[in-house]
Structure 1
Amino acid sequence: MVKRFYVDQYVDRILAGDRVVLSRAITLAESTLPADQELAQKVIQRLMPHTGNSIRVGITGSPGVGKSAFIETFGNYLVQEQHKKIAVLAIDPSSQRSGGSILGDKTRMASLATNPAAYIRPSPAGKLLGGVARNTREAVLLCEAAGFNVIIIETVGVGQSETVVHSMVDFFLLLLLAGAGDELQGIKKGIVEMADGLAITKADGPNLMKAKQARAEYQQALHLYPPGPAGLAPQVKICSALENTGIADIWEVIAAFVKHTQQTQYFMQKRQEQNLFWLHQAITSGLEERFFSDSGVKAQLDKLRQKVAAGEISPFLAASELLNLT
C-alpha cells in the first residue's frame, strides 16, 4: 500500500521539484474520491502563491501534422538553448475509445521524456472533455509550483478540445501541413481565429518549397481576418523537426508575443478572464454532478426521459420538474 502524504509533505516536495510527488499530486487531483479531492484542493491552494510564473503554450493541429515530433524538438530546444524547464500535458477526451493518450507512449518523445528538465504527463484515460480539462488546468498549477516555466498543452482529440486549450494558455499555436487541402479552406474558421501563430511543419527535402509557398498563401489569407484581441496579427513560420530548423523562429514569435501582451497588460487581463471562466466551469460541473446524484432525480429521470422521447411531455417541462426535486 502506497503511503499517503499529508498536505505539508506534498507542498514541500513539490516546491523542491520532486517529480514523483508531483505525479502523485496530479493523480490525486484526477481522482473522483471525495477524500482525494479534498486533499488535492488543500495542496493546490497552499501552492497558489508559487503558480502563474510560466509561459503557457497550447499546440494543436490535424492528425499527421507531426505534433509529437514538433513538441519533442521544440522542447529539447527550450531546455538546451533557452535553459527552460518544460512540462508537456495533453488534452485527450478520446482516450477511452483509442486506448490511451498519444502521449501515453513516451517512446514517441523518447529524448524529451528522459531529459531531467522536462516532464511529460498524458491525460487520464476514460474521461470526458470537461473532466480532462479540469485535470489539465490543475496539473498546470502543480507543474508551475514545481518550477516548470514553460507549460505545453497539446490537443490530441479534435473539436471542442481546441477551445478548451485556448481557455488555459497564453499563446495558441496551430500546426499545419503544406499542400494538405486548399490552404485555409480545410481548417475550421474558429480555430484559425483562436490562433496566435501558425507553423507549417515538415518543411524539409522536397516539401521545403511547398512549405515556403504555403507560408506566403497562409499569411496572405490571414490578412482577411481582423487582428486578435492582443492587437497582433498571427505570424506564419515554417519548421522541420527532422532537420531541427525553424524551431528558434517559433520561440522568438512566442516570446515577442508574451512580451508585448505583458507590456499592454493584456497578458494579465487574459489570465484573469481565464480564472473567472474556470470558476464558472467548476460551478457548472459541480451543480451538474450534484443534480444527477440526487436520489429524487435518479428516481424520476428515466421515466421522464421516456416521456420526452415519446413526445408526451416537453423537454422544458421535464427539466423544470426535475430541477424542482433538488
Structure 2
Amino acid sequence: MNITDMGDRILAGDRRALARAITLVESGRADHREQATELLEYLRPCGRQGLRIGLSGTPGVGKSTFIESFGMMLTALGLRVAVLAVDPSSARSGGSILGDKTRMERLSRDPMAFIRPSPSQSHLGGVARRTREAVALCEASGFDIILIETVGVGQSETVVAEMSDLFILLMAPAGGDELQGVKRGIMEIADIILVNKADGDLKPVATRTQADYAGALRLLRKRPQDPEGFPKAMCVSALEEKGLQTAWDEMQTLSGWRREQGFFDQRRADQARYWFEEEVRQSLLAQLTAPGALRDKMQALGAEVAQGQATPSSAAQEMLKTLGLVDG
C-alpha cells in the first residue's frame, strides 16, 4: 500500500481513499497499525480542522433521524459533513448490523456528505477505539463538520467528549426530571441538551421536559469553558425539521466563544494528551493477551484464582512483579 499516494488522495478529498484509510486505521493487524501510524503522521502537517460534534442519547431517541435532518440542513448551507456512526457489537458473536447508513437514506446520497458506520467491538464508552483517528482522517479530507454518533448506552457514555469540540445530548420527551441534574456522568459533560420529537401529540410533553432539563442544568456547577447561558436545553423536531437552525446557531455561538477565549485549542491539546495515555494503556494491556510468556503467566495465575489457591489481589501483584512494575 502506497501511503504517500493514499495521503495525497485523502487531502484531495477522494472519498474512496478516505473509506480505505478508515478501514486501515480500524484494523488490528500489526502491519496495518504501522501503516496507519505512518499515514496519520503524513497527514498531520496539513493542519485542517473541522468542528467535531459528539452526539449521544439512549436508543430510540431518534439520533439517526436527527443526524440526517441536521446533516441535510448543513450541506444545504454549503458545508461538507462526515458522519461517524458507532454501532453496538454483539457480546456473543462480535458482529454488528452497521445499519446507520440505511437509516440515513437521503443523507447517504448527498455528495456533500460522507457516512461511515463502525463496530464498537469491545470498547466501552459508546465509541470505537479508532474513532478518534477516523475523525482526523475526515478533517484531513476537508470536511467542515464531523458528527460522531455514539452507541447510545446511557449515563456512562462519556468517552466521546474526549474527541469532540461540542457534546450534544439528545433526550426523548418525558425522559427525566430535575433530579437528572444531580447525576454525574453524561449530563455533566453535555454542552447542549436537545429534546427531540417535539412534534404532534408529544410537543407539549417535550416543552415540559425541556423546562425540566433547563432547571436541572442550573443545579450543575458552572464550568469555566461555558459562556453565560450554557449549557442549555432546547426543543427540536428532526421529523418536521424544526428547531435545527436555532440549534446550529447556538452551537456556532458556543464554539466561537470558546475559540475567542482559548478554550477550544486548550481542549484539543488536553484531548491529544488523553489519547496518548489511552494508547499506552491499551498497548500494555494488549501485551498480556498476545501469545507468549506473559499470556501464559496470566492464564496460570487466573487458574489459581479460579481454584481458590490465590486471591485476585495477590495474583495481580505477582503479575505486576513479572512485568517489573513493582519490586519483587
1:227, distance to aligned residue in structure 2 (A): 1.6
1:95, distance to aligned residue in structure 2 (A): 4.9
The answer to whether the 8 Å contact 2:177/2:209 transfers is: no
Number of corresponding residues: 320
2:23 equivalent to 1:27: yes
1:93, distance to aligned residue in structure 2 (A): 4.5
Alignment-derived partner of residue 304 in structure 1: 301
For 2:176 and 2:288, the matched residues in 1 are separated by: 45
The answer to whether the 8 Å contact 2:53/2:148 transfers is: yes
The 5 Å alignment of 1:147-296 reads 147-159=142-154, 162-182=157-177, 185=180, 188-232=183-227, 233-293=230-290, 295-296=292-293
1:80 to 60, 76, 83: 76
Alignment-derived partner of residue 84 in structure 2: 89
The answer to whether the 8 Å contact 2:50/2:146 transfers is: yes
The answer to whether the 8 Å contact 1:91/1:161 transfers is: no
User: Which has the higher mean CA deviation after the structures are superposed, 138-147 or 180-189?
Assistant: 180-189
**Cα 1:130/1:154, change in 2 over 3 Å:** closer
**Cα 1:196/1:186, change in 2 over 3 Å:** closer
3-state SS of paired residue (1:179): coil
Alignment-derived partner of residue 106 in structure 2: 111
For 2:164 and 2:186, the matched residues in 1 are separated by: 14
2:27 equivalent to 1:18: no
3-state SS of paired residue (1:11): helix
The answer to whether the 8 Å contact 1:95/1:127 transfers is: no
Gaps of 5+ in 1: none
Q: Percent identity?
A: 44
Which amino acid is the alignment partner of residue 199 of structure 1? Answer: L
Which amino acid is the alignment partner of residue 299 of structure 1? Answer: D
3-state SS of paired residue (2:146): strand
3-state SS of paired residue (2:275): helix
What is the TM-score normalised by the length of structure 2? 0.90
1:77, distance to aligned residue in structure 2 (A): 0.5
User: Which has the higher mean CA deviation after the structures are superposed, 189-198 or 276-285?
Assistant: 189-198
**Cα 1:131/1:73, change in 2 over 3 Å:** closer
The answer to whether the 8 Å contact 1:16/1:146 transfers is: yes
1:307, distance to aligned residue in structure 2 (A): 1.9
Which amino acid is the alignment partner of residue 66 of structure 1? Answer: G
For 2:296 and 2:83, the matched residues in 1 are separated by: 43
User: Which has the higher mean CA deviation after the structures are superposed, 299-308 or 242-251?
Assistant: 299-308
After superposition, give the CA deviation of every residue in 1:281-315 in whole Å (9 maximum; x if it has no partner). Answer: 00111111123326222223223112223432232
After superposition, give the CA deviation of every residue in 1:28-70 in whole Å (9 maximum; x if it has no partner). Answer: 1111111111111111111012245111000111111100000
2:119 equivalent to 1:124: yes
User: Which has the higher mean CA deviation after the structures are superposed, 32-41 or 140-149?
Assistant: 32-41
**Cα 1:110/1:187, change in 2 over 3 Å:** farther
The answer to whether the 8 Å contact 1:65/1:177 transfers is: yes
**Cα 1:220/1:187, change in 2 over 3 Å:** closer
Pairwise CA RMSD: 2.3
The answer to whether the 8 Å contact 1:30/1:124 transfers is: no
3-state SS of paired residue (2:222): coil
After superposition, give the CA deviation of every residue in 1:234-264 in whole Å (9 maximum; x if it has no partner). Answer: 1111111111110001111111110010111
The answer to whether the 8 Å contact 1:90/1:136 transfers is: no
2:121 equivalent to 1:138: no
Which amino acid is the alignment partner of residue 258 of structure 2? Answer: T
1:181, distance to aligned residue in structure 2 (A): 4.6
Which amino acid is the alignment partner of residue 262 of structure 1? Answer: R
**Cα 1:23/1:244, change in 2 over 3 Å:** same
Gaps of 5+ in 2: 324-328
Which amino acid is the alignment partner of residue 205 of structure 2? Answer: K
The answer to whether the 8 Å contact 2:120/2:151 transfers is: no
For 1:316 and 1:144, the matched residues in 2 are separated by: 44
1:141, distance to aligned residue in structure 2 (A): 0.5
